[in-house]
């Protein structure tokens, strides 16, 4: 039976690999497509090639070129600026799509580990296409929420649909499910960036923070992803490591940079912990200015090694690693600077509208952060609805919603 592409799914706008690179990829897939057979020998061969000086030199040169050419940060800054005039945009220019609300990790910093907010659901392709059609001004899409995106088998089709509209697309993943088949599908989709949540450079720290003994598997999958991109002659997706800065793992930050260099990863991000009182998401794990000397030494070491390897090293959002970690004075009212409710839509797998990606991590009861349901009521009705307008009015006051009260004080905007 011949499978036909769904007519409502636009093909990705991307450059095609050369015929020779396509033949190499098909040959490689035939030879190594069954990961259970000879997996150890395959992994050892790939590891030897990654460690060869010639291969590393090629990867590092490619890394430097992509680091300088990437428009990831400029696109984000451009969209943030759109909401700075204080007026709600007619339609969101950014959107978070929670394509799966369950996960195969047990992260000690994630609320999902301690109890889900909503019934288990994977966002269907039909629902996704219907909502995307109601976002005519969309320029950037983040394909994750509280859950592992790769659990949703429709993800590559969703990515192709967005790239057919020339929308910048990223998502975070734990990479445990980043099989060779998925690697190729993601590269072919036109995905702009895949962000690997790593949180450490050793199996022990990875296990303590992420809750599952899968460090070696993640390292292997990421290395294969970078290699697959190289073999296919593609420049995207950009591959990045993400580290949540905790007392538990900050000392391993230079090691994460070193690991990124060994694998050919393009960038390392450091982000602040959003603590809400369970597991490792507690105030005691947060890093503050009174530890600045020790923290500065660690960040400086990571910066130096990143520069030597040609790897970009940044804080989450538009911040530097230093700005991202440290708290602000309580009289600053930094929530007033947030433009998310003016430009960005966040939809859970069940269609629930939330103000932003941080809200589920605040410990505020879930019903208090919901602003409607996009699947039930449509984007325009929610975006311009009474609940959203009331939320915006309260946000830009000295008495913001509970989910926003500590934002920028205990964690970054």
Environment class of residue 80 by beta-carbon count within 10 Å: exposed (0-12), middle (13-18) or buried (19+)? buried
Q: What pairs with residue 352 in β-bridges?
A: 373
Check if the beta carbon of residue 158 is closer than 8 Å to that of residue 202. no
Question: Which pLDDT value is given to residue 272?
Answer: 80
Q: Please report, in tens digits, the pLDDT of each residue of the chain (413 residues total).
A: 434 343 343 444 444 444 444 444 444 443 344 333 444 444 444 455 445 443 454 444 344 444 444 556 666 667 767 766 778 999 999 999 999 999 999 998 888 888 889 999 999 999 999 999 999 999 999 999 999 999 999 999 999 999 999 999 999 999 999 999 999 999 999 999 999 999 999 999 999 999 999 999 999 999 999 999 999 999 999 999 999 988 889 999 999 999 999 999 999 999 887 767 778 777 778 776 556 788 889 999 999 999 999 999 988 655 566 665 655 555 578 888 889 999 999 999 999 999 999 999 888 999 999 999 999 999 999 999 999 999 999 999 999 999 998 776 554 43
The conformational region for residue 317 under phi > 0 = left, psi -120 to 50 = alpha, else beta, is: left
Give CA–CA dist 2/9, Å, rounded: 17
Instruction: For the chain, list the domains and their CATH numbers.
Output: 71-404 (3.20.20.70)
Tokens of 413: 């905007």
Give CA–CA dist 93/106, Å, rounded: 32
Helix or strand (DSSP H, E) at 196? strand 193-197
Say how many CA atoms lie within 13 Å of 234 toward its Cβ. Answer: 26
Tokens of 112: 């999902």
Question: Which pLDDT value is given to residue 72?
Answer: 65
CA–centroid distance for 251 within its chain? 22
CB atoms within 10 A of CB 54: 8
Question: Which pLDDT value is given to residue 192?
Answer: 98
User: At CA 203, angle to CA 198 and CA 205, rounded to 5?
Assistant: 70
Tokens of 50: 């990654």
Question: Which pLDDT value is given to residue 101?
Answer: 96
Q: Which residues contact 6 (CB under 8 A, 6 or more apart)?
A: 125, 157
Give CA–CA dist 376/143, Å, rounded: 20
Select from 46, 27, 34 the least CA-distant residue to 226: 46
Give CA–CA dist 394/173, Å, rounded: 33
Tokens of 219: 């390292």
Q: Which residue has the tokens 């009705």?
A: 381
Check if the beta carbon of residue 275 is closer than 8 Å to that of residue 412. no
Say how many CA atoms lie within 13 Å of 347 toward its Cβ. Answer: 31
Question: Which pLDDT value is given to residue 63?
Answer: 46
pTM above 0.85, yes or no: no
CB atoms within 10 A of CB 313: 24
Q: Which residue has the tokens 């339609």?
A: 91
Count H helices, E strands: the chain? 16, 9
User: At CA 300, angle to CA 294 and CA 306, rounded to 5?
Assistant: 140
Tokens of 150: 């790769």
Question: Which pLDDT value is given to residue 157?
Answer: 98
CB atoms within 10 A of CB 46: 16
Give CA–CA dist 376/387, Å, rounded: 15
Question: Which pLDDT value is given to residue 83?
Answer: 66
């Amino acid at each position: 039976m011949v499978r036909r592409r769904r007519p409502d799914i636009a093909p990705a706008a991307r450059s095609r690999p050369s015929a020779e690179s396509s033949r190499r990829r098909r040959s490689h897939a035939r030879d190594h497509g069954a990961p259970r057979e000879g997996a150890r020998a395959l992994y050892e061969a790939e590891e030897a090639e990654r460690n060869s000086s010639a291969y590393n030199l090629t990867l590092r040169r490619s890394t430097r070129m992509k680091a300088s050419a990437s428009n990831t940060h400029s696109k984000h800054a451009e969209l943030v600026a759109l909401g700075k005039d204080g007026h709600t945009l007619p339609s969101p220019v950014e959107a978070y799509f929670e394509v799966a609300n369950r996960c195969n990790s047990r992260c000690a910093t994630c609320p999902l580990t301690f109890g889900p907010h909503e019934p288990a659901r994977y966002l269907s392709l039909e629902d996704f296409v219907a909502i995307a059609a109601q976002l005519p001004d969309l320029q950037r899409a983040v394909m994750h929420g509280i859950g592992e995106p790769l659990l949703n088998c429709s993800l590559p089709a969703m990515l192709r649909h967005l790239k057919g509209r020339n929308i910048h697309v990223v998502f975070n993943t734990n990479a445990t499910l980043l099989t060779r088949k998925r690697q190729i599908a993601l590269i072919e989709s036109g995905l702009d960036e895949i962000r690997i949540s790593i949180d450490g450079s050793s199996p022990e720290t990875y296990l303590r923070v992420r809750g599952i003994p899968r460090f070696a598997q993640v390292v292997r999958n990421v290395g294969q992803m970078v290699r697959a991109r190289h073999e296919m002659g593609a420049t995207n997706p950009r591959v990045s490591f993400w580290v949540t800065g905790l007392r538990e793992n900050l000392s391993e930050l230079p090691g994460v940079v070193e690991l990124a260099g060994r694998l050919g990863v393009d960038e390392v991000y450091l982000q602040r912990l959003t603590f809400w009182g369970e597991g490792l998401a507690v105030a005691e794990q947060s890093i503050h200015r009174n530890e600045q000397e020790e923290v500065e030494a660690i960040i400086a070491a990571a910066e130096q090694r990143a520069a030597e390897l040609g790897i970009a090293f940044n804080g989450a959002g538009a911040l530097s690693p230093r700005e991202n970690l440290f708290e602000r004075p309580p009289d600053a009212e930094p929530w007033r600077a947030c433009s998310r409710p003016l430009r960005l839509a966040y939809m859970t797998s069940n269609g629930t509208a939330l103000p932003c990606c941080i809200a589920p991590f605040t410990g505020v009861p879930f019903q208090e952060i919901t602003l409607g349901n996009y699947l039930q009521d449509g984007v325009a009705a929610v975006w311009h609805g009474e609940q959203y307008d009331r939320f915006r009015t309260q946000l830009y006051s000295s008495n913001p919603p509970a989910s926003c009260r500590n934002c920028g004080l205990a964690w970054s905007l």
